[in-house]
Amino acid sequence: MRIPSYYRQPGWQRFIAGMAIGAIISWFIFLYIYGVWQEEYSKDIKKLRDDIEELEEDKQIWQEEYKELNKKNIERLTVQEIKVEISNGEKYRLDPLSVFEAEKKVKEDIKMMLAKDLETVYKSRELLKRVIENKPVRINEKRYNIKVEEVFIYTTLYIQLRLTLEE
């Protein structure tokens, strides 16, 4: 069997030439559209990278400001709570209610320290100590002197006391 020779017929020549020219034109159209899409995508990627860099710079600025504010707030913290503890109530065989009442009396004496700056409380710690120690406490018909063992100053003012029998 023999393949007919269509290359001599002008109709087939135009058809094949049209196909070749169409393929070349469609290839250029494909390249153009693909190039436009790639250009748009590269613009979007560049814009997003710029946005990310800008946001990271903003984040860095916010973090620095936040750290500065934290430092200022730590410097200006106030006393929120006062805790008083008598450490040697068992030595004098005092019941827990009596110890609690004595702690409450001491708290009432120093409640003016609530809502004060930590710096102010720290500067007046000797005055605070004298206020506590100079006032004897009456428990179960006996008078006790109070000695301050420890004072911790932060948002909670913690004072540990020791009782001694007054002579």
pLDDT digits over 73-102, tens only? 876 788 889 999 999 989 988 999 999 999
> How many domains are there within the chain?
2
| 69 and 86 in a common domain | no
| 85 and 145 in a common domain | yes
Residues 6+ apart with CB under 8 A from 105: 137
From first CA to last CA, the distance across the chain in angstroms is: 138
**DSSP 8-class letter at 88:** -
| 90 and 62 in a common domain | no
Residue 2's pLDDT band, with cuts at 50, 70 and 90, is low
| 161 and 110 in a common domain | yes
pLDDT digits over 9-33, tens only? 788 788 888 999 999 999 999 999 9
| 15 and 90 in a common domain | no
As a whole number of angstroms, the distance between CA 142 and CA 138 comes to 6
Task: Identify the domain boundary among 75, 96, 111.
Answer: 75
3-state secondary structure of 45: helix
pLDDT digits over 31-79, tens only? 999 999 999 999 999 999 999 999 999 999 999 999 998 888 876 788 8
Domain span at 68: 9-75
Task: Identify the domain boundary among 49, 75, 101.
Answer: 75
Residue 6's pLDDT band, with cuts at 50, 70 and 90, is low
pLDDT at residue 86 in the model: 94
pLDDT at residue 167 in the model: 75
| 117 and 145 in a common domain | yes
pLDDT at residue 118 in the model: 86
As a whole number of angstroms, the distance between CA 88 and CA 165 comes to 11
| 70 and 86 in a common domain | no
pLDDT digits over 113-162, tens only? 988 888 889 999 999 999 999 999 998 889 999 999 999 998 899 999 99
